[in-house]
Amino acid sequence: MKLTDSLGRTINYLRLSVTDRCNMRCSYCMPAHGVSKMCHDDILRYEELQQIAEAAVSIGIEKVRITGGEPLVRAGIVDFLAGLAEIRGLRHLALSTNGVLLKRMAADLRTAGVQSLNVSLDSLKREVFSAVTRGGDLDMVLAGLDTAEKVGFPAPKINMVVMRGVNDAEILDFAELTISRGNSVRFIEYMPVIKESGWQHYCVPGEEILQRIATRHLLVNVDKGAFAGPSRDFRIPGARGTIGIITAVSGHFCGECNRIRVTSDGKGKGCLFSDEKTDLLHCLRPLDRLKLRRTLRDIVMAKPERHNISFTGYEHENFTMAQIGG
Ligand code: SAM
Ligand code: SF4
């Protein structure tokens, strides 16, 4: 069954956040101090998250990505993923992680039925990586990437948030990972989530990223797969991995948006940058499957045409990506 929104866009992808907690503190995602954590009772229980995923698949969602915060820090995550993998009609189960716990957990994740991994990695230089993540250990993430492939995952997709003056000097190095390591790399424009003045300085437009790669490499367009979202994809001829550009700020990709989101406290969102949230708790406590399906469909139908971010500003309320799930 094909799920379409009021504008005719196919919606086949749910990003489901299981926690707002994280074992890193990336500068672009969270402030250094003063992040209010969700109260334990507000976080959805695994059976409630499973009910949401089942309802979403029953109305036409085909791909579910588990995200956070850092999903691998939540106790019991592997069993939860194994339950999701058994949902009939779910065609793709994916997980986003910062990679810190991947070396230890990759084999269990694979056995549980996770089909693909996205790993955040913003620098290949230890000091820069540690500064961006406020203390993260680059070697642990690289070891996690290696282990994931050893246990049978396809090469994880690497997500790099490009920040001018921080890691933009590494754009070519990351592009060349598609040749040397064979991972696909997605360059993400820095998005303003917390009202901070001067954020535009950090944001390197996608076109500039492409031009910098093109100074050394030919880039050919790549057809996108079944669940491809709003990235524009290219390949350096001969490279195993592809290069994707996500232009959330400089170019609106909203016409290609195929997703809805649910936060770990049960708020459904049709757009990352809209303040519209639909509370799903009234369908879960107590469980009313019909109402849950209807409410998810309403979120799809109410998806806005586009978000309101541009280099001149934005209108959404403050949030951290860890609260929504990116
Ligand atoms: N902890 C996991 C991780 O880091 O992959 C999953 C959650 S994280 C919030 C999901 C994605 O959001 C990551 O790829 C991260 O790079 C991205 N993200 C967070 N803040 C961002 C920002 N200000 N601009 C662009 N992307 C951002
Ligand atoms: Fe944690 Fe991921 Fe946010 Fe970094 S981007 S602070 S790893 S949730």
Q: Please write down the HEC assignment for all residues of 71-129.
A: HHHCCCHHHHHHHHHCCCCCCEEEEEECCCCHHHHHHHHHHHCCCEEEEECCCCCHHHH
Instruction: Provide the domain limits for residue 100.
Output: 13-324
3 in any annotated domain = no
Looking at residue 242, its pLDDT comes to 97
**Ligand 1: which residues within 6 Å by Cβ?**
22, 28-29, 67-68, 70, 96-98, 120, 159, 161, 188, 190-191, 193, 321-322, 325-326
Per-residue pLDDT, 302: 93
- Tell me, yes or no, whether 285 lies in a domain: yes
203 CB-contact burial (10 Å; exposed 0-12 / middle 13-18 / buried 19+): buried
For the chain, the domain total comes to 1
| Cα 120 to ligand 2 centre (Å) | 8
Ligand 2 in contact with 323 (CB < 6 A)?
no
Q: Which atom of ligand 2 is nearest to the CA of 98?
A: 7
How many helices (DSSP H) and strands (DSSP E) are in the chain?
A: 10, 12
- CATH number, residue 263: 3.20.20.70
Query: Ligand 2: distance of its center to the CA of 96 in Å?
Result: 10
Ligand 2, atom 7, lies closest to the CA of: 98
Residues paired with 15 in a beta bridge: 65, 261
The answer as to whether 5 is a domain residue is no
Report pLDDT for 312.
65
> Which pLDDT score is estimated for 37?
80
Predicted TM-score of the model (pTM)? 0.95
pLDDT number for residue 32: 81
Using one digit for the tens of pLDDT, what is the confidence trace for 171-228? Answer: 999 999 999 999 999 999 998 876 567 888 899 999 999 999 999 999 999 987 767 6
4 in any annotated domain = no
8 Å CB contact between 167 and 132: yes
What per-residue confidence (pLDDT) applies to 136?
Answer: 97
Is 7 a domain residue? Answer: no
Assess if residue 273 is contained within a domain: yes
Let me know if residue 1 belongs to a domain: no
Ligand 2 atom with the smallest distance to the CA of 321 is: 3
DSSP 303: -
- Looking at all shown ligands, the one closest to residue 196's CA atom is 1
- What does residue 131 show for φ and ψ, rounded to 5 degrees? -70, -45
Report the separation in Å between the CA atom of 99 and the middle of ligand 2, taken as the mean of its atom positions: 10
Residue 244 lies in a domain: yes
What does the pLDDT read at residue 318?
59
pLDDT less than 70: residues of the chain: 194-196, 226, 228, 252, 307-320
Strands of 116-120's sheet, edge to edge?
A: 220-221, 232-235, 243-246, 185-189, 157-162, 116-120, 92-97, 63-67, 13-17, 259-262, 267-269, 278-279
